[in-house]
Chains A and B, each alone.
Chain A
Amino acid sequence: MKFLKVDMSKRSVQFQEVPKAYVGLGGRGLTSVIINAEVPPKCDPLGPENKLIIAPGLLSGTPLVNTSRVSLGAKSPLTGTIKESNAGGTMAAALGHLGITAIVVNGQAPKGDLSILRINEKGEASLVSAQAYKGMRTYALAKKLLETYGDKTAILCIGPAGELQLAAASVQTTDIDGRPCRAAGRGGLGAVMGAKGLKAIVVDQRGKSADAIADSKAFSEAAKAFAQAIKAHPFSGQMLPALGTAGLIAPVNSMGAFPSYNATKGVLEGWEKVSGEAMAKIITERGGKTTHMGCAQCVVHCSNEYVDKQGKYLTASLEYETIWSMGGMTGITDLDAIAKLDYLCDDIGLDTMSTGVAVAVAMDAGKAKFGDAEAAIRMVEDVARGTDFGKVLGNGPASVGKHLKHYRVPVVKGQSIAAYDPRGMQGNGVTYATCPMGADHTAGNVIGEYLGGALDPLKADGQVAASRNTQIAMAAVDCTGLCLLASFALTTPEGGQAFLAAMNAKFGTNFGPDSIPEMGIKVLRAEREFNRKAGFTNKDDRLPEFFYKEPLPPHNKVFLVSDAELDSTFDF
């Protein structure tokens, strides 16, 4: 258990024991509690006072499957709020193997100075010059870094968008195959990393100084049972390995809740051409991989390798949210073009969701026609070229709306919504409005309630409670390093018991079923407290006006949850 403190102003690195106040925290819990305690709430997100925290989950680096999420946290330049964004790949396990609880990056390098933070197999850390990599895109960068530091290296890095400190810049991380195709995309944390003067963090994956497991025999038994629960669940055991998250395209379009053409329709014309089923067929015919292991210790294998007609790699992994933002929102129904846009965003270091929605807002404002893939590709390339419009686009949808004087901008606190329209899934609208980090689907997705028949997605009744419960649960899951997609196994008796047993065996604790929501509530309280100090009020917990005024076809509903109901979401 140790922190690695990095001061970019002094170019110093130092290990220290985890301060008592932070013991027992991991992932989002740790990033959010540190930021709330140590970052001045009104500071410039791109200034020296902001801190970038990189924290593996509580169980990352243990033998428990699907615990390879690493949380990145800071004050967001996109939203102005506290922010946590997590990614899969290999970094969480690499840090866990070295017993590193968090990397805390403070200060700011002199303008123009660019560094790499390197942590070797023995856990020794150093800052080395990255001047040679200035402006480099992430695929070329990852290739160079793997050549330099060896193929057993996990990489977190930024592309040109992060160096330009654009508010939609992502932090990319490498998958099992060393490709920088996994992203902590949301909230512009790539810009924070760029502002610090940090191009990449490289960590040797072969560390052997992981924190001890209190009861290794009990842990091993629990881990085996939890893996079985994940495999036995129809979603994580069957659907995701076959179609990946793109399997959601059919259900959400079938419900009329797939925000299309910049959220003016709830069904994308021709969605069948970009569905998970169509994608799997194309990949199979071309010799790509429909099932692929993207993250360390994964048993779900939801990833894929999308290839072109000649069988050449185009991107990995093509996901539901990207197909939506680059396809549904823009009206593009050519999967090859969407794959190209996904690759470009990963390579330039941009959030695919904010970028796709920014393109859609530009199209809606008349800059290009919906469905024009070439125009979309040009716009995204403009970001890397650093053109005036590229900078506008790279700062996200709100920036595009302001620049083009267009009112229909589907963002909350500056961050774009995700692939569930709040008028067709009212509970997801509650999550977008009230989440402390701006519109964020992973913070509390209610879709399972609708498909399970527990809740009517088109009525206001019950939506606040459903959103509250999922937001609490997800805040807790995000502390553990557990992948969201594997976490649904927690809802089964076998999975829930096995996971609690693993936590208790790891830490020698006696967590019960109530301990998990308590953890989530603690995180949400810290996040909301930071936002209050930063100047946010209940009035910021609202959707844009057009969601209340423009009915969404085919159900022709508007967002129905009242302000008073929204304000009761966090009544704890």
Chain B
Amino acid sequence: MFGTFCRKGAAHDPDSGLEVEIPDGARVKDLLARLGIPESAGAVAAVEGVIVRLEEPLRDGACVHVLQSVYGG
């Protein structure tokens, strides 16, 4: 988890990430809900370098970067 999300949850280690178990067929939005991140937070997920939609199903063992939406710097 990155951005201000990395400060959420005592179990999250920013360096190594967090292992999360979710049911088979779970989607990105299910993962975000499991992490306690509301839709209003504007979270974005990247899997293997590609931004994925909230409806995207996740495969077993996927490494997901949970990011905050950014607009420029």
Contacts and interface: CB of A to CB of B under 8 A. Distances in A.
Interface string B21-52: 00000000000000000000110101001110
Interface in A400-414: none
Nearest to A281: B14
Nearest to A267: B49
A276 B14 CA distance: 12
B61 interface: no
A340 B53 CA distance: 40
A557 to B, nearest CB: 11
A439 to B, nearest CB: 15
B68 A256 contact: no
Given A272-B15, A319-B73, A239 B68 contact: yes
A389 interface: no
Given A234-B41, A254-B46, A255-B49, A447 B71 contact: yes
A234 B42 contact: yes
A425 to B, nearest CB: 11
Contact of B46 (A245, A255, A319): A255
Given A250-B67, A451-B44, A555 B72 contact: no
Q: Which of A234, A266, A275, A442 counts the most B-chain CB atoms under 10 A from its CB?
A: A234
Interface string A444-472: 01011011110001000000000000000
B65 A250 contact: yes
B41 A251 contact: no
Contact of A451 (B41, B49, B67): B67
A242 interface: yes
Interface string A217-261: 000000000000000001100110011011110110011100000
Nearest to A470: B72
A441 interface: yes
Contact of B70 (A239, A242, A281, A321): A239
A235 B44 CA distance: 13
Contacts of B68: 234-235, 238-239, 247, 251
A277 interface: yes
A452 B69 contact: yes
A453 B51 contact: yes
A251 B70 contact: yes
Interface string A259-272: 00000001100001
A463 to B, nearest CB: 15
Contacts of A278: 14
Nearest to B43: A234
Contacts of A555: 49
29 contacts: A234-B42, A234-B68, A234-B69, A235-B70, A239-B68, A242-B3, A243-B4, A246-B73, A247-B3, A247-B73, A248-B72, A250-B67, A251-B65, A254-B67, A255-B46, A255-B49, A255-B51, A256-B49, A319-B73, A441-B72, A442-B72, A448-B69, A448-B70, A448-B71, A450-B51, A451-B67, A451-B70, A453-B53, A457-B51
Interface of B: 2-4, 6-7, 14-15, 41-42, 44, 46, 49-51, 53, 65, 67-73
Given A234-B69, A239-B3, A247-B70, 9 more contacts: A242-B4, A243-B4, A251-B44, A251-B65, A254-B49, A254-B65, A255-B51, A448-B69, A453-B51
- The 9 A-B residue pairs with the shortest CB-CB distance in the complex, in nearest-first order: A245-B73, A250-B2, A445-B72, A320-B73, A256-B49, A254-B46, A448-B71, A254-B65, A488-B71
